[in-house]
Structure 1
Amino acid sequence: MTSTGSGPGFGPDLVEVFGPSQQDGGPELVQLLTPEGERVEHPEFSFGDGMSADEEAETIRGFYRDMVLTRRIDTEATALQRHGELGIWAQLLGQEAAQIGAGRALRPQDYVFPTYREHGVAYCRGVDPLSLLGLFRGVDQGSWDPADNNFGLYTIVIGAQTLHATGYAMGMQRDGVVGTGDPDRDAAVIAHFGDGASSQGDVNEAFIFAASYNAPVVFFCQNNQWAISEPIERQTRIPLYQRALGFGFPGVRVDGNDVLATYAVTQAALQRAREGQGPTLVEAYTYRMGAHTTTDDPTRYRLSDDVEHWKLKDPIARVQVYLKRNGLADEAFFEAVQDEANDLGHHLREGCKALPDPAPLSMFDHVYAEETEELRAQREGFAAYLDTFEGAR
């Protein structure tokens, strides 16, 4: 989409990258793999450029494996919550392609700011799924170190991470790791949020700052049609990706159930950011086939026919059909992936139950870089209280 702005990164260069197809009546949704498992062409985005046929097939098989394992993480965590082992769980059922496509488009030096549902992106960044379970079990506050994976801690405050991401991206500019031409150095930031969060003031403020400072950030909105019980029709009068134009940067809508298209679009947006061309809004158009969280009952506000309709667009099934139809994977491959998923399920079940409870005083450990007098007094007061109970520390 073109921009009406006049600052750095605005103008014809946006047309060259994202083209005019999503305005003036052109095709709205970027799709490279149909729900029936057929490859289709798009005028602006493609998958597999620079890959050999074998490399492309191996990459798609990898996407399939990633999505199957991510779904298993989700279903096991849901079951653990039902058995009282987790306090709550935010499901991602149906959104695997959006997360794996975006996660695999990242380079090691890129940085991710997630919400509380990016389990697939966390998996792509090497975060142990047990660390995710520990957070929802209430035994830690997110036990992964963001510095190890360039993957931030989950954000419960809706939309706040978009401001964090924009500030971090502006810091990258000042660190000189944007637009240098060195692919091992140039970096970008991606901020994940949902369609409900797009109505938050923090998100819109992040758009303003990112546009004003040409920050290297990709705003990745997983539009799963529901902000808990509020349908997308009550949140916006236009497609979400079109909002970007009003802030002065391009937006693109991609089939969020198409892992190939999501990968291609996110890869292009991230590369644009790394080169110093500024922010992009990616709207991954998908559907939440599960509940908002395990405390939600979606049958109270949506029709079962809608869910059945979207099951026909299942992101995993379409890749499986494509691989089988084109002879790119045999039954042994699919069985091996299923066996790996079963092993992962066992690891999560046993590992979750074995997670240790935290020491009560550990809540004070990482409040500040240096302990303040006030915090010290609070720690000592709580310690004295614990001492009134045998073995409480």
Structure 2
Amino acid sequence: MDKMNRRASLKTLAAVGATGALGGLHGLAAAQAPLTIGVIYVGPRDDYGYNQAHAQAAAEVKKMPGIKVVEEENVPETAAVQKSMTGMIMQDGAKLLFPTSFGYFDPHLLALAAKYPDVRFSHCGGMWTEGKHPKNAGSFFGYIDEAQFLNGVVAGHLSKSGKIAFVAAKPIPQVLRNINAFTLGARSVKPGITCSVIFTGDWSMAVKEAEATNSLADQGCDVFTMHVDGPKVIVETAAKRGKMVCGYHASQAKLAPQAYLTGAEWNWITAYKTIIDAARSGKPHPNFLRGGMKEGFVKMSAYGPAVTDAAKKQADETKAKMLAGTFDIFKGPLKDNKGKEVLAAGQVQKQTDLALEGMNYLVEGVQGSF
């Protein structure tokens, strides 16, 4: 979408009414002037995936009083995103930006944050580091590996072949974490189950995603999940092959109603509201924001018609432990798929353990390499 079309589609909602809850002159000024927020997507907003999950949150933000939202889609992870952010700041008056794609952070967001110190930048998935990165920049992300573990529990119950599949983009730590969680979830049901993974090499490459799905189906895999920007091709291809699917990013249930089992979904509005509230009240910018099932950052799709009562029971019981904060995905003894011990017996990595953000291995039971 070019800038003229983008601006033609902008919608400004009513300004804030009552201001009594905002103390001081800063709060009064913030209440009187709408806060302009920019959201930038690497792909289309209706991709049934990563971008759509953010667009759903942006749609909720638009309903908030005193907020003006500007959006731009299909912005590549190049200097083009710097131009888009600059346009939102200089022409639209944006004071808070959500550049949502992984590759926007370094060097693009960092360059703009240094240039515009009065603008807040919140990046999805980046590793903001204190003392290294500007204080008006920050990152937010969710522990969606919790939801992928639950995908795995359901997949473990529904798989008849004992072979499940994962179509992945790139072997970065978050992707490896999801593959491992999905596999561990399935192996909590059937210890001998295996997960075959194929990396396509790109976040959005429909041809390779279809090829990978067909290849894994040919290998006998019968339940699929993924970590690519838009899961549409994988979901539809797997369903056409008579396979079952656990979704990712957003719900893809309507693409394959009978084949769709459940899905790991983002609930980005939780993070967006926290960041927006800080900007409107003058509080420090949240530089490093994380949360999982318990904090409302991630959620599960509704169960599809093929999901058994036994699968629902185990998944729901595990989810309840996650909501209570009493469940750990990564705990020893745990080996990688080359037989090396990565966690000793009794050793546990909590979701807040930064070591998980640097994960560089595939667990035992995963068939594939990077």
Give the structure-2-normalised TM-score: 0.28
Richer in helix (by share)? 1
* TM-score, reference length from structure 1: 0.27
Indicate the structure with greater strand content. 2
